[in-house]
Amino acid sequence: MTAAAEIADFLRREFPQTKCVVEAVGDGTSTVSHEITVHELRPGGTVLGPVLMSVADVALYVAILGKLGIIPLAVTTSLTINFLRRPTADRAILGICKLMKVGHSLVVGEVALYSRGQDEIVAHAVGTYSIPRGAVTDTARQSI
């Protein structure tokens, strides 16, 4: 498993545009957070959909890096998101990811998104990442 701090360093270096903070990394799991700024709100005072999509995408990526090591070229191949409730405008978005399959070339996981401090899920995503051949050892895959 890759440590959360190592993943946070990698993201800062390679994805300086993301504001997501790595809060926790477990075995096939991750928690990331994203502070909402005014320009991420839309009419009606709710968080823009693409902001939630991007938090889901990062949570999935972080869980994969935690599980398989730092693989810069892992890329999203598909993502499905359902928007369930309006997030609170002035709270950070939390993305909590759990990988469901870590295969030889594809990893599939789900992400539950919340407004921090609230119980109700605001959106749910399922995504697939493609892992370049030879990027990871079989050992890294075994525990899931």
Q: What residues line the site for its own copies (CB under 8 A)?
A: 14-17, 39-40, 42-44, 46, 48-50, 53-54, 57, 72-73, 75-85, 100-101, 105-106, 108, 110, 121, 124, 126, 128, 130
Report, in Å, the least distance between residue 137 CB and its own copies.
Answer: 18
Report, in Å, the least distance between residue 34 CB and its own copies.
Answer: 11
Phi, psi of 29 (to 5 degrees): -135, 160
Question: Which amino acid belongs to residue 29?
Answer: T
Report, in Å, the least distance between residue 46 CB and its own copies.
Answer: 8
Select 14 or 90, whichever has its Cβ closest to its own copies.
14
Question: Which amino acid belongs to residue 79?
Answer: L
